[in-house]
């Protein structure tokens, strides 16, 4: 499976300042968030997050959108997210949102 095969669903809470898309697979999740930051006047950022099946989270910010790599395999996409993680690296979270 490749990134282009993932179904990124738009969050119902999206607005002009915050656009969140999530794709679920193998009890894991990749999210892409395009949002206004708290810095400066009107500065946007795109962040890609990966949550594994144990609830561990990685976040790559700085205009990093995994959907820009549609032809790479999912396992390579996960490694790319992890390698570019600069905000959260192996953060254990309590809720993996498995209820979707």
Max avg pLDDT among 53-57, 71-75, 94-98: 71-75
Report the pLDDT averaged over residues 20-33.
95
Residue 42 has pLDDT above 80, yes or no: no
Domain range for 25: 3-92
H helix and E strand count, the chain: 1, 6
Contact present, 1 and 73 (Cβ < 8 Å):
yes
**Is 97 within the bounds of a domain?**
no
Task: For residues 67 and 63, give the distance between their C-alpha atoms in angstroms, rounded to a whole number.
Answer: 11
**pTM, two decimal places:** 0.85
From edge to edge, which strands make up the β-sheet containing 88-92? 9-10, 18-25, 28-36, 44-51, 56-60, 88-92
In a domain, 84, yes or no: yes
Element (H, E) at 75: helix 74-84
Tell me whether residue 16 is in a domain. yes
Give residue 25's pLDDT: 94
Q: How many domains does the chain have?
A: 1
Mean pLDDT of the chain: 88
Residue 37 falls inside a structural domain = yes
Q: Which residues contact 20 (CB under 8 A, 6 or more apart)?
A: 10, 11, 13, 14, 31, 32, 33, 34
Question: Binning pLDDT at 50, 70 and 90, where does residue 96 land?
Answer: very low
Share of the chain above pLDDT 90, in %: 65
């Amino acid at each position: 499976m490749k990134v282009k095969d993932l179904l990124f669903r738009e969050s119902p809470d999206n607005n002009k300042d915050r656009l969140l898309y999530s794709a679920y697979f193998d009890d894991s999740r990749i999210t892409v968030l395009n949002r206004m930051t708290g810095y400066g006047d009107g500065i946007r950022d795109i962040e890609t997050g990966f949550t594994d099946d144990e609830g561990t989270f990685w976040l790559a910010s700085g205009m990093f959108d995994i959907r820009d790599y549609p032809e790479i395999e999912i396992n390579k996409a996960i490694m790319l997210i992890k390698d570019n993680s600069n905000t959260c690296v192996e953060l254990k979270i309590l809720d993996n949102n498995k209820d979707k």
